[in-house]
Structure 1
Amino acid sequence: MSTWMIYGANGYTGELIARQAVRDGMAPVLAGRNEEAISKLAGELGLESSVFSLDDPATVAEKLQGMELVLHCAGPFSKTSRQMVEGCLTAGAHYLDITGEIGVFEMIHAPETSKRAADKGVVLCPGVGFDVIPTDCTAHKLKELMPNAVSLSLGFSFLAGMSPGTTKTMIEGLSGGSAERKDGKIVPFPMGSKKRTLDFGKGQQPVTAIPWGDVSTAYYTTKIPNITTWIPLSERQIRGARVMSLFAPVLGTKPVQNQLLKWVDRSVKGPDERARENALSYIVGEAKAEDGRTVTVRIKTTNAYTLTALGSLEVVRRMLGRDLPSGSFTPAGLFGSGLVESLEGSGKFEVVE
């Protein structure tokens, strides 16, 4: 039987994944740095546990020995992913995570990192949750439909609240503004400064561009050189985001960051089961050719957090015990556009004429 690990299993999303894994008959090792929380959850679920921090590379590599795969769920990933990637490369374990952070994707998809993974026979596949399976598969689908596309717009809409980890990641990104892929390069711009409309299936809505992970990953999946990512906001909210961007230097200072992160620890718990059940997600993508022709697809999925649990575990199942190409991959790059359609609660792609 394959041995694999969920690191950060005591976090909001990590615990959702661990519980879903047990319901699915899977038996991961639960790991993290909080001994009390990890031991309690592992005891409840009848699973093995391992307690270690990511501070010492030798310890990380030692704890990963014998693991075929690690599903890394401990964010913010900008502070934890490099250590876990290095540990996986040393131990020869495949690496998955649920990040949506552009910097992490760029680090893992860098040619030198991919080559190291290939030389080790290791798969590095970040973004196997809502960040970025649905949008990555949408990008792949659009590339199939329009191989000569030169620009790609991806939008998503979901109503579920945010987990503590996601909130902390957003807070840490307050000073960075937004970003897009332009002529193959990632270019920053102020939050709220770009807007348009997209139809998620209920008519056109105003949307604003945000630095979603596909600014990085969709490029590696499709090689389309111009990529923007969008979420629906009212005109008033878009104006508010633009005003907020003026305070980015202050919001990024250490004292302000520390206070905001403490507020998250006190106040943010993440959506409960009922909230998740009532919060479907809607994805829309548009590809454009150089001559102006466009093609649009839409898909509806279950809520973001349930999809993260289902999606990450589906990727785990498709990898364990399999002979896979090694190197750095996106989820759709590894398993195709149909990955999202295979998940419980997801519909099929609708091509919009």
Structure 2
Amino acid sequence: MTTISNTTQGKLLIYGATGFTGSLVVHEAARRGLDFDIAGRNKDKLAALSAELTVPYHVFSVDDIDGWEKGLEGKTALLNIAGPFSQTANQAMDACITFKVHYVDITAEVDIYRLAERKDAAATAAGIMVMSGSGLFTTYDPLVVHTAQRVKNPVALRVAFTYSGGFTPGSVASSANIIGAGLLVRKNGELIKLSEAQSASFDVGNGPEEFSLLPLGGVVLSFKSTGIPDIEEYFKLALPANSAKEGVLTEGHSPADLTTERSTILIEVTGEDGTIVRSMADMPAGYMPTASSAVEIVSRVLNGSVKTGFQSPASAYGAALLTSLPVVNVTDF
């Protein structure tokens, strides 16, 4: 692994720019003053967004290697927003490795984190970073590192995530892949699949509640950042009352409608001596945090702050990444 740092800002390509999340991301990137092009498959939508933001656009599918070559020419990094990522990530990662461009995405699919992990050697040889999960895990992963630092020799991690805010059509499609990955946990450093569902009780501020085991991705990403050998993750869904019909967000749905909703991440770490510590992050619900988190990550990449090979948000940027995120409140107890 090589750490690269410079002070010259590079240029970004945002692929999947015209969907609900993509639109949030490109507007946040513009607000932050990043230098970027947009890309995707829908020419009309790309042209309209290009005219609005005065940025170049490229039209190509993920299987079009010539399109990738032209789109990635002169770029420092790619931010892939096009879900479901089971249909886009492998091609996009391979294009970045071929053309030596850093890769970042916002997926929540654990199998894509495992895919990124398998690209480690190729990415390292190409001198690039491959980071999957720059949405939720920009908060989740550094919070795990922060909590783990509070005990001596952390040996076990449990996570309880309460989500509120609705889902985009891309996320709905991705959810089948998340569930399809199976009941993954980390035991003695090895990734294993449980045969039966299990639940656990956690108190995130409203008294004890039951959460269901679901591989959120820490079994891969937070193992990368901490090396904690035993990891279990649990999930509870709380759809907001003011979400779109059946909780599905469309391109016309206003993100402002979700500003009062909150999501929580509770981290519980056990040290070798049996000490148990907990930290909890309370943050805005929905996709606005995803946009700000992803843009925070790629802004660092464009400024040359990268580690080559497969990385998680915290393996690259540590617990201090938490302090760069807007409206994330952390409580230790």
Q: Same fold (TM over 0.5)?
A: yes
Aligned counterpart, 1:36: 44
The answer as to 2:25 corresponding to 1:17 is yes
More strand by share: 2
The answer as to 2:129 corresponding to 1:123 is yes
Aligned counterpart, 2:309: 327
Counterparts in 2 of 1:100 and 1:172: CA distance versus 1, 3 Å: closer
The answer as to 2:299 corresponding to 1:293 is no
Q: Is the contact made by 1:311 and 1:340 (CA closer than 8 Å) also made in structure 2? A: no
Aligned counterpart, 1:251: none
Aligned counterpart, 2:83: 75
CA distance in 1: counterparts of 2:116 and 2:23, whole angstroms: 25
Match for residue 217 of structure 2 among 210, 213, 238: 213
Q: Deviations over 1:203-252 (max 9, x none)?
A: 32211111211121111111111111112369xxxxxxxxxxxxxxxxxx
Tell me how many residue pairs correspond in the alignment. Answer: 317
The answer as to 2:141 corresponding to 1:133 is no
Match for residue 295 of structure 2 among 282, 294, 313: 313
Gaps of 5+ in 1: 235-263
Letter in 2 for 1:167: V
Instruction: State the Cα distance separating 1:139 from its structure 2 match.
Output: 1.3
Q: Deviations over 1:10-37 (max 9, x none)?
A: 1111111011122222342010011111
- Match of 2:191, SS state, is strand
CA distance in 1: counterparts of 2:131 and 2:33, whole angstroms: 23
Gaps of 5+ in 2: 1-8, 239-245
Instruction: State the Cα distance separating 1:317 from its structure 2 match.
Output: 1.4
CA root-mean-square deviation: 2.2
Aligned counterpart, 2:331: 350
Aligned counterpart, 1:247: none
Instruction: State the Cα distance separating 1:201 from its structure 2 match.
Output: 2.7
Instruction: State the Cα distance separating 1:318 from its structure 2 match.
Output: 1.3
Counterparts in 2 of 1:323 and 1:300: CA distance versus 1, 3 Å: closer
Q: Deviations over 1:322-344 (max 9, x none)?
A: 25331111001111112133211
CA distance in 2: counterparts of 1:212 and 1:283, whole angstroms: 11
CA distance in 2: counterparts of 1:319 and 1:142, whole angstroms: 25
CA distance in 1: counterparts of 2:107 and 2:237, whole angstroms: 23
Q: Is the contact made by 2:300 and 2:306 (CA closer than 8 Å) also made in structure 1? A: no
More helix by share: 1
CA distance in 1: counterparts of 2:286 and 2:192, whole angstroms: 27
TM-score (norm 2): 0.88
Deviates further, 43-52 or 169-178? 169-178
CA distance in 2: counterparts of 1:159 and 1:190, whole angstroms: 28
Flag the structure with more relative contact order, 1 or 2, with Cα contacts below 8 A and sequence separation at least 6: 2
Counterparts in 2 of 1:350 and 1:34: CA distance versus 1, 3 Å: same
